Amino acid sequence: MIHNETMKSILSRRSYKIFDGLPIGDEELETILTAGLYAPTGMNGQPWHFTVVRSREMLNRIGEVFKVMPKPTPPPGINLPPGPIETMRNAPVMIIVSGRESHPTNFQDCCLAMENMFIAAASLGIASGWSHAMVKDFFNCPEGLALKPKLVPEGYVVRAAAFFGYPGPEVKDRGPRKGTISYV
């Protein structure tokens, strides 16, 4: 395999659960967002909106919703830990990617944008971590719904959301990737 700078960033990216709280600089943030904007999109529709949450007040308000939002029903065999399902994880930034519902490929486009941002962040030594709670259940409670006008434009639906920041404690080694490739 060829090890170039891009591969180094891809291989070094990990999903962080905890960040160290230090802010991300404007230039770093701009670089991450630009990487997202250059993801491919169906029919070049660019059917997305990126909401960058970095005001301490809004991060705290989102954190309060995480504390009160109901827990989802876990799939069989999965035990959810006690306590809130999501916390702010001490992250200085959350990026929410919403897709224009009317665009047929908005789901895929938004996820590709987020992955580009993850890799760009990794290349800068910035950690990231997906927030399933924000994508799935955040707006299913009145406290979350009250924040929706500030976080998601009309006609858009949240497709991806993640924390970004400088890494906290090392993430556990997730082992080698499983071989699920076939050649035909």
Ligand X SMILES: Cc1cc2nc3c(=O)[nH]c(=O)nc-3n(C[C@H](O)[C@H](O)[C@H](O)COP(=O)(O)O)c2cc1C
Whichever of 29 and 114 has its CB closer to ligand X, that residue is 114
Whichever of 157 and 171 has its CB closer to ligand X, that residue is 171
Contacts of 55 (CB under 8 A, 6+ apart): none
Give the span between the Cα atoms of 64 and 146, in whole angstroms.
12
Q: How far is the CB of 15 from ligand X (least distance, A)?
A: 3
Q: How far is the CB of 135 from ligand X (least distance, A)?
A: 7
Whichever of 57 and 77 has its CB closer to ligand X, that residue is 77
Give the span between the Cα atoms of 110 and 79, in whole angstroms.
29
Residues that bind ligand X (CB under 6 A): 14-15, 17, 129-133, 171, 174
Residue with nearest beta carbon to ligand X: 132
Q: How far is the CB of 26 from ligand X (least distance, A)?
A: 26
End-to-end, the C-alpha distance of the chain in Å comes to 20
Give the span between the Cα atoms of 95 and 129, in whole angstroms.
10
Q: How far is the CB of 182 from ligand X (least distance, A)?
A: 22
Name the 3-class secondary structure at 97.
strand
Whichever of 76 and 176 has its CB closer to ligand X, that residue is 176
Q: Which residues of 141-164 are buried (b: 16+ CB within 10 A; e: fewer)?
A: eebbeebeeebbeeebebbbbbbb
Sheet holding 93-100, edge to edge: 48-53, 93-100, 156-165, 127-130
Q: How far is the CB of 40 from ligand X (least distance, A)?
A: 18
Whichever of 49 and 132 has its CB closer to ligand X, that residue is 132
Q: How far is CA 111 from the centre of its chain?
A: 9
